Amino acid sequence: MCLIILFLNDHIFKFQYTSWFTGKLSDIVGIILFPMLLTYLFPKLKHNSVFIAGLFLIFWKSSFSENFIKLYNIVSPISIHRVVDYSDLLVLSLLPIPYLLIKNIRILEQFSLKKINAFAVLLPTILVLMSTSQMRTYTYSPETGALTFRDVQFEIKKTKEELLKEIQDQNLILVKDTAFILESARYEVSRMGKLDQTALEKGGDIFKIDNADLKDVLLKEIERSSDYKIQEIKIGDRTIKNLSFSIKPALMKMSPKKFSQIVVHSAEIDKNLDNDKVGERLKEIYQSIITSKFKHF
């Protein structure tokens, strides 16, 4: 059942019924399926498979798995990917389900399909777990020309300070990306406010917050943030506007202090492009122009 749901969700539901639920459904069934697969492959791990699965999920959803994924995709004919989203770790709370299933496997044997060889299920299970849906790395709005990237990152051999100086030396207008920063600070804002339930019936402000305190918190968030925006940059014969990106430490390098990780969030390109042209333009802008420009600042 988990295998069928995982396959349908990754290849159909995520695209036809895009929502928070379909985004998490694969993680939900995957965390149930994976410990049982480990138990089948390595019977001695029977009582520890859920813990191994949990530790692997934490590693997989962290930035530390990035180099492993890049290396694997170079040598493997089946590429794998993942998006760094720590909210996915909520599915760890479901690990008691495969634990109880494995512990009480004899009870479940009466429901098993005796005529199906285990290997007939094993191979599809491994393939479906590895070959998940093709991740769309961007969204494009033809009305505004806004191109929003997803999990697009690369490393450069420059510190944050060196990169910012190089950009400013080229007389480019570099500002903090306040829109992105404030969007990321929604949780902090919600923690500061108070919900007045009586106002639902009596009228007035339902959500109250001290504006002075809010301004102070947001200014501090903007000051400490490493989210920036280049308002306009001309590369060759093309002009890219509102290039939004973050500068993060390159933790996986031997000398992380000498490197930075660039995470591209969004940019503005031509309006009203059809899907084929968006794909071509995305490849051109991201792979050739943006990446190259950052590495040669």
239: how many CB neighbours lie within 10 A of its CB? 12
Give me the residues paired with residue 175 across strands.
229
* The pair of three-digit structure tokens given for residue 236, joined into one six-digit string: 């060759």
Q: Is the pTM of this model over 0.75?
A: no
| Lookup result for tokens 């599809």 | 124
For residue 149, what are the β-bridge partners?
138
pLDDT at residue 243 greater than cutoff 80: yes
The model's confidence at residue 211, banded by pLDDT at 50, 70 and 90, is confident
Q: Indicate whether 136 pLDDT > 60.
A: no
Phi, psi at residue 141, to the nearest 5°? -105, 110
50-97 residue pLDDT tens: 999 999 888 887 777 777 777 776 666 556 666 666 777 888 999 999
Phi, psi dihedrals of residue 115, rounded to the nearest 5°: -85, -5
Query: Per-residue pLDDT for 229 more than 90?
Result: yes
Give me the amino acid identity at 78.
Answer: I
